[in-house]
Structure 1
C-alpha cells in the first residue's frame, strides 16, 4: 500500500469536490456550471474506480463493465438534468 499515492488522490478528490461546491455558488450559467461539474465528477469517478476500487490492476474486461455502468449513470443524469429545464 502506497500511502503517499492514496493521500495525493484523496487531496485531488477533496479539491475537486470543493471546486464543485464553489462552482455552484459562482453564479455561472446553468449549462456552463453543469458541464464543469460533470467533468469534475467524471475525473473523480475515474480516480475512485482506478485506485480505491483497484481497477487499475484488474483485467480490462472488468474495467469495461464498470465503464458501461458509469456511462449509463451519466446518461441518466443528463436525461434528468434535461427534463428539469
Structure 2
C-alpha cells in the first residue's frame, strides 16, 4: 500500500473515532450513565492516541524502549484524567 493510501486510511479511522466520541456525548449518554460514557470516550481516545503515535509519530519503527516510554506517558495522562473526573463529581 502506498504511503498516501495508508495515511488516508489512518485519517478516515481517526475521523470515524472522533465522530463516535461526539455521538456518545451528544446522544445524551452522559446524563444516563456517566461512567459508561466516560469509559467509552477514554477507550476511543486511547485507540486514537495509539494510532497517532504509531504512524504519525513513527513509533512503530522506533526501539521498544521509546514505545514503552510513550506508553508510560499515556498511562500517566489516563491517571490524571481519572483523578480529575473524581474532582468534578
Give the TM bin, normalised by the shorter chain: over 0.9
Runs (4 or more) in structure 1 with deviation over 4 Å come to none
Query: Secondary structure at the residue paired with 1:48?
Result: helix
Aligned partners of 1:60 and 1:82: how far apart in 2? 33
Query: Does residue 21 of structure 2 align to residue 20 of structure 1?
Result: yes
- Give the gaps of 5 or more residues in structure 1: none
Asked which structure has the greater RCO (Cα within 8 Å, sep 6+), the reply is 1
- TM-score using structure 2 length: 0.92
Unaligned runs of 5+ in 2: none
Q: Deviations over 1:6-51 (max 9, x none)?
A: 1100000001011101100111111111000000000000000000
Structure 2 match to 1:51: 55
Paired residues, what number?
Answer: 85
The two structures, once aligned, show a CA RMSD in angstroms of 0.9
Distance 1:3 1:82 in 2: 42
**Is the counterpart of residue 79 in structure 1 residue 83 in structure 2?**
yes
Question: TM-score normalised to the size of structure 1?
Answer: 0.96
Alpha-carbon shift at residue 54 of structure 1 (Å): 0.2
Shift of 1:83: 1.4
Output the CA distance in 1 between the equivalents of 2:52 and 2:18. 13
